[in-house]
Amino acid sequence: MSYPKQPAYPSQPAAQGVILSDIVQAVQQNAPTACLDILKANPEKVDVKGFIGTTPLHQACLRGVLSIAEILLDRGADPNARSDHGETPVLYACRNGNVSLIHLLLTSGGDVDATDKNGNGCMHYASLGGSIVAVHYIGTQTHLNFNMQNNNGDTPLHISCQNRSNMLTNFLLRNSRCDPCIQNNKGVTALHIAAQLGDSELCWRLLTIATCRLCHIKDELGNTPLDIARNEPNQRNKSLPEQLAYYSKLDPITSPNGPKGTWLTLAFLPFVWAGAVFVLSSYLGSFAALFALIAFLLLVAFVSRQSHRIPHPCGWPNPIFLGGFAAGIVHCIIGAFFKILPALWPCPVHFLVIVTLCLICLYYLRYLAVGDPGIIRHGRVSADGRELAIMDIVRGNTKEADFCPYTEVIKPEWSKYCRLCERTVKNLDHHCLFLNNCIATLNHRSFVVFLLVVMMLQTLFVVDVLLITETDMTSAQSYISQVFHAQPWLFDLALLCVLSFMWEFTLVASQLINISRGQTGYFKRCKGKLTKMEALLNIVRFFLNRKHSQFCEEKYPQVDGNSFLHA
């Protein structure tokens, strides 16, 4: 499921041989045939009221059972019947989030303006259920707006924030659907709620959209969001009061800026660290080798403990992995040109090989880090060339799960939204942290070629480091020890190359296995078994930048032959 939705109530089938006579029980047990039989015998039961004044249609809508709702409506059920709390079947359907059911009720006379005794309408109930599809349907197919307030003054944004429905909250804040500055009857804004919950990420999102003026809005008790954060006894985020205090000092008409300094520090830290180690080790004499090794291990430990997002409420992707990978490549190139090649000269052929591989490596590194992996900028298109919309879900032309809650379109086949890149891409393989980009249809082949080139460079580098060191080769242990003390900086880089080579080898192997099967790391298309020749042809066609082998298409029709990878 690509969006949050009210969980369906489990249906309990009737015991074998038991004939259901109660219409409510038949609805609760999801027995449409029994419902039809009961209504044929007793038509007056169609609107019989049960628990808290709910009718069978209420129960069907609460459970999202479209087939039973159709039977009840065909038999004259009232789509505007009220429970003891003033709830209608339409409101229950909105709470469940089934847009086909909501559409059925509205086209059968259901009142979209109906509210319960607390003033909660369709928008509020859909927000309670957390269904982005339902909220999107109501907002686009009816006249209701996203800033509707109930008797307490709460908007759908208040409700989604209180329920921690993060995706729905982002949806409501996107495109200025909801006004974050709206206060309820107690003067509470969405930022007050976020501060009470200790949700620093939500506070950041609200402030970037509504500016820092939100920090200065007071509730009926005179408390700002900062006061709420400081006084909250069960504070989940100890740093939130400090963050809100900083935002409160900013110009109210500005939005907080992202942590560009932190981002740049993490991006360039590995390169600067390795460079500093190289410079310092040249002054440490006999301690240089041990110092360089310890510094290298500390850097590896620091990088390995990093998360995929920087430690800030904005949640930007962490660039330290890209910085570390690029720093390793650049330092190896520097070592090759300023240490290895001068020691091996004259070696024109060797020089040309290294220069060629380095240029190819740097080109692919830049292309894979900033290039287009296969971004999709439109929704799925029907056979007649029309882009699918929310009503196609209602008509059964596509599934609710195909609606992307981030891009708000029907996702094309074999597409995936990446939360780190915040883009939908075609034929996603994976998001590569070491390139800070997705690997998908337009750069998959380049990614595999890049790995192979890097592995060749690493092999040459390690061999060259061993060749330029004049040592006694009486034993492997003494030889490595002498290399370690003679060239500590190059030794650490060579050790990094060896470890990276092993990781890259396993990655390339898994890539080739997926390619041979006509699939990606994320999309598993072929469930059958191909022959060795068919698998080999898939690999050959992949590297030739062609559509993958037709064998897979012929044997396994579920494969989308037109959507395979293009480099």
Q: What is the pLDDT of residues 423-469, one digit of tens each?
A: 999 999 999 999 999 999 999 999 999 999 999 999 999 888 888 77
| Residues above pLDDT 70, as percent of the chain | 88
pLDDT at position 154 is 96
The CATH homologous superfamily to which domain 171-257 belongs is Ankyrin repeat-containing domain (1.25.40.20)
Please, how many CA atoms are within 13 Å of residue 257, restricted to the half-sphere of its CB?
7
Q: Is the pLDDT of residue 14 over 70?
A: no
**Other Cβ atoms within 10 Å of 480 Cβ, number:** 16
pLDDT at position 553 is 43
Pair 130, 41: CB distance under 8 Å: no
Q: Is the pLDDT of residue 6 over 60?
A: no
**Other Cβ atoms within 10 Å of 332 Cβ, number:** 26
Give me the residue label for tokens 């369709």.
122
Which of the residue ranges 138-147, 239-248, 331-340, 548-557 would you say has the lowest mean pLDDT? Answer: 548-557
Q: How far apart are CA 238 and CA 241, in angstroms?
A: 7
pLDDT at position 42 is 84
Pair 256, 212: CB distance under 8 Å: yes
Q: What is the pLDDT of residues 221-234, one digit of tens each?
A: 999 999 999 887 65
Q: What is the pLDDT of residues 17-64, one digit of tens each?
A: 334 448 888 888 888 888 888 888 888 888 888 888 899 999 999 999
* Greatest mean pLDDT range, 25-34, 148-157, 244-253, 290-299: 148-157
pLDDT band with cut points at 50, 70 and 90 for residue 215: very high
Q: How far apart are CA 527 and CA 404, in angstroms?
A: 26
Which of the residue ranges 191-195, 414-418, 474-478, 532-536 would you say has the lowest mean pLDDT? Answer: 474-478
pLDDT band with cut points at 50, 70 and 90 for residue 316: very high
Q: How far apart are CA 264 and CA 277, in angstroms?
A: 20
Residues 515-538 have a mean pLDDT of 83
Q: Is the pLDDT of residue 473 over 60?
A: no
Q: How far apart are CA 286 and CA 494, in angstroms?
A: 20
pLDDT at position 526 is 63
Residues 305-316 have a mean pLDDT of 92
pLDDT band with cut points at 50, 70 and 90 for residue 479: low
Q: How far apart are CA 239 and CA 226, in angstroms?
A: 11
pLDDT at position 31 is 84
Residues 508-523 have a mean pLDDT of 91
Higher pLDDT, 182 or 33: 182
Pair 309, 318: CB distance under 8 Å: yes
Average pLDDT, the chain: 86
pLDDT at position 40 is 86
- 3-class DSSP state for residue 381? strand
Higher pLDDT, 330 or 483: 330
Pair 13, 105: CB distance under 8 Å: no
pLDDT at position 293 is 82
pLDDT at position 491 is 80
pLDDT at position 567 is 29
User: In angstroms, what CA-CA distances link 87 with 8, 67, 90, 177, 420?
Assistant: 18, 21, 8, 25, 40
Nearest to 73 by CA among 39, 106, 108, 103: 108
Domains 19-144 and 171-257 share a fold: yes
Angle between helices 532-543 and 488-516 (to 10 degrees): 120
pLDDT at position 195 is 93
pLDDT band with cut points at 50, 70 and 90 for residue 11: very low
Q: Is the pLDDT of residue 547 over 70?
A: no
pLDDT band with cut points at 50, 70 and 90 for residue 488: confident
Q: Is the pLDDT of residue 555 over 90?
A: no
Token output for 19: 């004939």
Q: How far apart are CA 109 and CA 106, in angstroms?
A: 5
Token output for 475: 């034993």
Higher pLDDT, 527 or 55: 55
Q: How far apart are CA 314 and CA 552, in angstroms?
A: 43
What is the torsion angle, in degrees rounded to the nearest 10, for the CA atoms of residue 177, residue 182, residue 184 and residue 185? -140
pLDDT band with cut points at 50, 70 and 90 for residue 98: very high
Q: How far is CA 346 from the centre of its chain?
A: 52
Contacts of 176 (CB under 8 A, 6+ apart): 209
pLDDT at position 20 is 42
Q: What is the pLDDT of residues 106-163, one digit of tens each?
A: 999 999 999 999 999 999 999 999 999 999 999 999 999 999 999 999 999 999 999 9
pLDDT band with cut points at 50, 70 and 90 for residue 483: low
The CATH homologous superfamily to which domain 19-144 belongs is Ankyrin repeat-containing domain (1.25.40.20)
Token output for 395: 């008509």
| Residues above pLDDT 90, as percent of the chain | 59
What's this model's pTM, rounded to 2 decimal places? 0.83
Rg of the Cα atoms in the chain: 31
**Other Cβ atoms within 10 Å of 339 Cβ, number:** 17
Please, how many CA atoms are within 13 Å of residue 268, restricted to the half-sphere of its CB?
8
pLDDT at position 39 is 84
Annotated domain spans of the chain: 19-144, 171-257, 261-371+442-544
Contacts of 445 (CB under 8 A, 6+ apart): 542, 543, 545, 565, 566, 567
pLDDT at position 12 is 45
Token output for 456: 């060749």
Q: Is the pLDDT of residue 551 over 90?
A: no
